[in-house]
A and B are shown apart, each in its own frame.
Chain A
Amino acid sequence: MSQILPAGTKAPDFTLHVTPDQTVSLTEFRGRPVILAFYPADWSPVCSDQMALYNEVLPEFQKHGAELIGISVDGVWCHSAFGKDRNLHFPLLADFEPKGAVARLYDSYRQEGVTERALFVIDKEGMIRWSYCSPVGVNPGADGILQALEALEK
């Protein structure tokens, strides 16, 4: 596990493709909390899949006004097929070209060519308030994110 960007760091801005002809920038979400979920690859096994879990917990994240964004080095077409297959109701961004450039900004890129399984909760002013890097084979669940979102409101 590497040292990912810690809490108290300004979240580096980025613009990435969310569909073949649409991009999303982090600054678009100013004014509400953002959950950035870097994950190694689309198409991990269903029952233990982190994104499937977050999809279910999405209404709880939304209770905090938070926006959930998944990021991996997979391309937009792969994301689109994955999102559709799994009924995902949140955007998946393609950190595809230059590969892993955004993951590197967050110190969340792995030498083997994928991102870490890294979570960031960013407050409405764009400051990282919580970050967590899970062992790459371990699904970190959603409790840490919920705790971080609750802490933002204290």
Chain B
Amino acid sequence: MQLKENVTPEDHSQGTEGANVTLVEYGDYECPYCGAAYPVVKRLQKRFGESLRFVFRNFPLAEAHPMAEASAEAAEYAATKGKFWQIHDGIYEHQTQLSAELLGTLATQNGLDPKAMAEAIKQHTFQGRVKKDFMSGVRSGVNGTPAFFINGILLDGEADFETLAAAIEAVR
């Protein structure tokens, strides 16, 4: 399957646009497999350096994971203040303690207003944005999380370091 929505400046990305390889992850903040993939992506970024650009898109299974949608919306709120990756990383690094309280703590630690964040979650200010990511994943054949696209092609198989590194190596 092929990525239907190209990466744009609206996306949350790390690395340069000129990178040889773009890795897009569709992820859910409460999914334990995404939690397991988090350090794998960090290792890949270290290994491939400037030749890898990483993009994260939301794919919360909100009915299965009660904190997934709120977490995604919290990260989107943070993104409007230039703090997307701080919240993204903070959630995955403390995934087993994921709660409204944790989101508030992460906000405070990163110089964000926890009340404003909580209000944005309550009002679903960023629901549309999260949904847009989700549907672009559905239309691209994402069937669960994490799902990785390497230069637009859906990775088939386990999201472990060796598999991802080999797939990136093959196209760089």
Counting CB contacts under 8 A, is B49 at the interface?
no
B residues less than 8 Å from A80 (CB atoms): none
12 A-B contacts (beta carbon < 8 Å): A47-B31, A47-B61, A49-B64, A49-B144, A52-B61, A53-B61, A55-B61, A56-B134, A60-B138, A89-B63, A142-B143, A146-B138
Q: How far is the CB of A49 from chain B (nearest CB, A)?
A: 7
B side interface size, CB within 8 A: 21
B4-39: contact bitstring with A at CB < 8 Å (1 yes, 0 no)? 000000000000000000000000100111100000
In addition to A49-B144, A88-B63, A139-B143, 17 A-B residue pairs with Cβ atoms within 8 Å of each other are A47-B31, A47-B33, A48-B144, A52-B61, A52-B64, A52-B144, A53-B61, A55-B63, A60-B135, A89-B63, A141-B1, A141-B138, A141-B142, A142-B138, A143-B1, A143-B141, A146-B139
Counting CB contacts under 8 A, is A87 at the interface?
yes
B62-83: contact bitstring with A at CB < 8 Å (1 yes, 0 no)? 1110000000000000000000
Residues on B lying within 8 angstroms of A by beta carbon are 1, 28, 31-34, 60-64, 134-135, 138-145
Q: How far is the CB of B10 from chain A (nearest CB, A)?
A: 21
Q: How distant is the Cα of A23 from the Cα of B56 in the complex, in angstroms?
A: 44
Q: How distant is the Cα of A140 from the Cα of B61 in the complex, in angstroms?
A: 16
Counting CB contacts under 8 A, is A81 at the interface?
no
Q: How far is the CB of A3 from chain B (nearest CB, A)?
A: 23
Q: How far is the CB of A131 from chain B (nearest CB, A)?
A: 18
Residues on A lying within 8 angstroms of B by beta carbon are 46-50, 52-53, 55-57, 60, 86-89, 139-143, 146
Q: How distant is the Cα of A86 from the Cα of B65 in the complex, in angstroms?
A: 9
B residues less than 8 Å from A142 (CB atoms): 138, 143
B residues less than 8 Å from A52 (CB atoms): 61, 63-64, 144
B residues less than 8 Å from A139 (CB atoms): 143-144
A residues less than 8 Å from B32 (CB atoms): 47
> Is B138 touching A143 in the complex (CB atoms < 8 A)?
yes
A residues less than 8 Å from B62 (CB atoms): 56
Q: How far is the CB of A104 from chain B (nearest CB, A)?
A: 26
Residue of A nearest to B145 (CB): A47
Residue of A nearest to B142 (CB): A141
> Is A50 touching B138 in the complex (CB atoms < 8 A)?
no
B residues less than 8 Å from A48 (CB atoms): 143-144
B residues less than 8 Å from A53 (CB atoms): 61, 138, 143-144
Supposing A57-B138, A142-B138 touch, asked if A50 and B64 sit within 8 A by C-beta, the answer is no
A residues less than 8 Å from B135 (CB atoms): 60
Q: How far is the CB of B45 from chain A (nearest CB, A)?
A: 23
